[in-house]
Amino acid sequence: MEVGGSASIRTEGGGNGAVGLYVRDAGSILRVAGAANVVTLGDFSQGALARLGGVLNLGVVDITTSGQDADGIVTWDAGSSILITGNATVATNGDDSAGVLSTTGGSISLASAEITTSGLNADGIAATDAGSSVTVSGNASVATNGDSSAGVQASNQGAINLTTADVTTSGLDSDGIAATDAGSTVNITGDAGVTTNGDSSAGVQASNQGAINLAAVDVTTNGVDSDGIAASDAGSTVTVSGGASVATTGNDASGAASSNGGVIDFQNALDIAT
């Protein structure tokens, strides 16, 4: 299916499972060359979903979802892919509703992104499972407002590759940038700015053998027990090849903290204020 001009899609009436843009099965392709505006209101109603090998290609897209388990942009399954060549603006309002999520081997590639999530357990950008990846070639602006909502998170061998990023989280237990589990990676090749405002919300955290590689980073945390940059568990690594500036304002919030065999490698200038 191909739409040459602009498209506006709205699923209403509280219909659950009413996906805005949906493509499934190998060989299936959905293209929108012009701007796409997508609004979904029901639970389990993703904004854009590719699964079972389906391919979704978009230009500029603006997506808003309001239900629970209503991710903004999501791929499931190996061979499934979403390519967005223009800016992607994504807002999710329900619990368990990530802004951008790749899982079980899917891939997502964005030119640039502005992502906001408001619910609980609603990560901004997430990749989970082997072969799953999210790539943003331009700037990624991410803000999460609910508890347990990381800004950028790779887990269970997922991979996230960003160029530049501005990340803000406001809830409890909401790390700014996180990589968890062996084989999980977050790579940012340009400048990264990270602010966390909730308690137990590290700015940058690698755990359980996750790996984070940053070029230059500016981190501020404002909550209790919210380390600036942390690596915990043997095999977990955070590497910063350029300059790093870290400020923490809360109690029990270290600037840089390595524990239980974790490794943090600052390869250039480091400025810490606690």
The predicted-structure confidence for 92-121, as pLDDT tens digits, reads as follows 999 999 999 999 999 999 999 999 999 999
Region 129-135 average pLDDT: 98
Region 141-157 average pLDDT: 98
The reported pTM is 0.95
- Greater pLDDT, 6 or 69: 69
**DSSP percent split of the chain into helix, strand, coil, nearest 5:** 0, 55, 45
Give CA–CA dist 107/189, Å, rounded: 19
Phi and psi torsions of 84, nearest 5°: -120, 115
The pLDDT of residue 4 is above 60: no
Sorting pLDDT into bands at 50, 70 and 90, what band is 7? Answer: low
Residue 41 CA, chain-centre distance (Å), reads 22
Region 183-211 average pLDDT: 98
The pLDDT of residue 1 is above 50: no
The pLDDT of residue 8 is above 80: no
DSSP 259-270: ETT-EEEE-S-E
Residue from 58, 61, 192, 34 nearest 115 by CA: 61
Region 221-249 average pLDDT: 98
Convert 209-230 to b/e letters by CB count within 10 Å (16 or more is b).
Answer: bbbbbbbbbbbbbbbbebbbbb
Q: Are 195 and 170 in contact (CB under 8 A)?
A: no
Region 6-23 average pLDDT: 72
The pLDDT of residue 3 is above 90: no
